[in-house]
A and B are shown apart, each in its own frame.
Chain A
Amino acid sequence: MNEILNIFTDPLKLAGQSIILVLIYTVLFLVIEAFVPKFKKWGDTLFVIVLVLTLGQTVMDAFSTMGEIVNVASDFFLAITPILTSILVVLNAVFSFIAWSPIVLFIFEMLMLLCKKVLIPAITVALILDFCSRFIQEISFSKASDLIRGTVMTLITASLLGMVTVLSFTGVAFFTIDQAIASPVKKVIEQTIPIVGSLIVEGFSIFHKYQSTATTVVGLGAMTAFWIAAFYPAGKLLIHAMTFKLLAAVVEPFTGSTISGLLDDVGKSLLLLCAVAILLGIAFVFIWLILIVIMQLGVGKSF
C-alpha cells in the first residue's frame, strides 16, 4: 500500500523539496549580496548555475518520464493493433473494419512519430534557447523559443482535433466535428497557458458517450485503472510544471527578472510536455474504449 501511495506522493515531495531548496538559495544569495555588494555582478550568473544544477534533475526526470510514456504507448499500440483488427474481422463488422482500422493505425502511428521526432526534441530546444537567453540577456533567443512553443502547441491542437474527429463515431461516418470537440480546440488556440486545464476538462467530455457503456462492461475498478494509468504521467508532469511556475512567482520579488523569467520559461516548456502526455493519455483511453465498444457491437448491442 505504501508503494502505491509513494507513486502519488513522490512528485509532491520532490516539488516541496525544490521549493525549499530554491528559497534557501535565495536567502543565501541575498545575505551574501548584502555583505559583499561587489558580488552582485557574479551573483545572478552563479544563481542561474546553482538553479540549473539543483532543478536540472527535475527537468531531466520530466523528459525521461515523457520518453518512457512514448515508448510504452508505442509498444502498446503496436501490440493492440493486430488484436483490434482481428476482432473486427472475426466479428464481420465490415463497415467498422473499413472505417476504423486504417485510420486508427495511421493516426496512432503518426502521433507516436510526431511525439518522438518533433514534439519532445522541439521542447528540449526551446528549453535550451530559454536558458541561453536568460544567461546572456544581450543575446536573446526568446522569440525563437516562443515560436517553437507556439508551433508545438499548434501541432498538439491539430493532432487532438484530427484524432478526435476521426475516432468519434460521427467523425468516422461523416467526418464532421461536433460542438463538444470544437469548443475545447477553440479554447486551446485562444489560450496558451491554461491549455492543460482546458484539455483535461473538455477532452474528457468526448469520452462521455462511451464511458458509461465501457464502465458497465469492464467494471468501475478496471476503468479507474485505465484512467489512472493513462493520466498519471501527465499529472506528474503537471506537478513539475506548476512547481516551476510557483517558484517563479515566489522568487520574483527577491531576485532579478532573470531568475524568475528562467523558472517561468521552464514551467511553460514543462506545461507543453504535459499537454503532449495528455494527448497520449487520451489516445490510450480512446483505444480501450474502441476495443470495448467494438466487443459490445460484436455481441449485438446497439448504442
Chain B
Amino acid sequence: MIKLIIIILIGKCLLLLADEKDVIVYVKLATLLIFLTTVLDFLKL
C-alpha cells in the first residue's frame, strides 16, 4: 500500500509538471505493476 501511495504521489507530480496527457499512460502502467507485485506478495507467489 505504501508503494501504491508513493507511485500515486510521484505520478501526480509528473502530471502537474509535464502538462502532457501522455504521461498518464506511464503512471497507469507503473500503478498496475505495483498493484500486481502487491497481489503476488500477498498471495506469497
Contacts and interface: CB of A to CB of B under 8 A. Distances in A.
Interface string B1-21: 100110011011001100000
Contact of A132 (B5, B15, B16, B24): B5
Contacts of B5: 128, 131-132
A177 interface: no
B16 A41 contact: yes
Contacts of B12: 45, 135-136
B22 to A, nearest CB: 12
Interface of A: 41-42, 45, 124-125, 128, 131-132, 135-136, 138-139
Given A125-B1, A128-B5, A131-B5, A139 B16 contact: no
Interface residues of B, number: 13
A135 B16 CA distance: 12
A148 to B, nearest CB: 12
Contacts of A139: 8, 11, 24, 27-28, 31
A132 B11 CA distance: 11
Contacts of A125: 1
Interface of B: 1, 4-5, 8-9, 11-12, 15-16, 24, 27-28, 31
Contacts of B4: 128, 132
Nearest to B28: A139
Given A132-B8, A136-B8, 11 more contacts: A125-B1, A128-B1, A128-B4, A132-B4, A132-B5, A135-B12, A136-B11, A136-B27, A138-B24, A138-B27, A139-B24
A45 B12 CA distance: 8
Nearest to A42: B16
19 contacts: A41-B16, A45-B12, A45-B16, A124-B1, A125-B1, A128-B1, A128-B4, A131-B5, A132-B4, A132-B5, A135-B8, A135-B9, A135-B12, A136-B12, A138-B27, A138-B28, A139-B11, A139-B27, A139-B31
Nearest to B4: A132
A138 to B, nearest CB: 5
Contacts of A42: 16
A147 to B, nearest CB: 15
Nearest to A144: B35
Contacts of B28: 138-139
Contacts of B24: 136, 138-139
A24 to B, nearest CB: 24
- Most chain B CB inside 10 Å of its own CB: which residue of A42, A45, A132: A132
A128 B2 CA distance: 9
A144 to B, nearest CB: 10
B44 to A, nearest CB: 16
Most chain-A CB neighbours within 10 Å: which of B1, B16, B27?
B1
A248 B39 CA distance: 32
A6 to B, nearest CB: 34
B15 to A, nearest CB: 7
B1 A136 contact: no
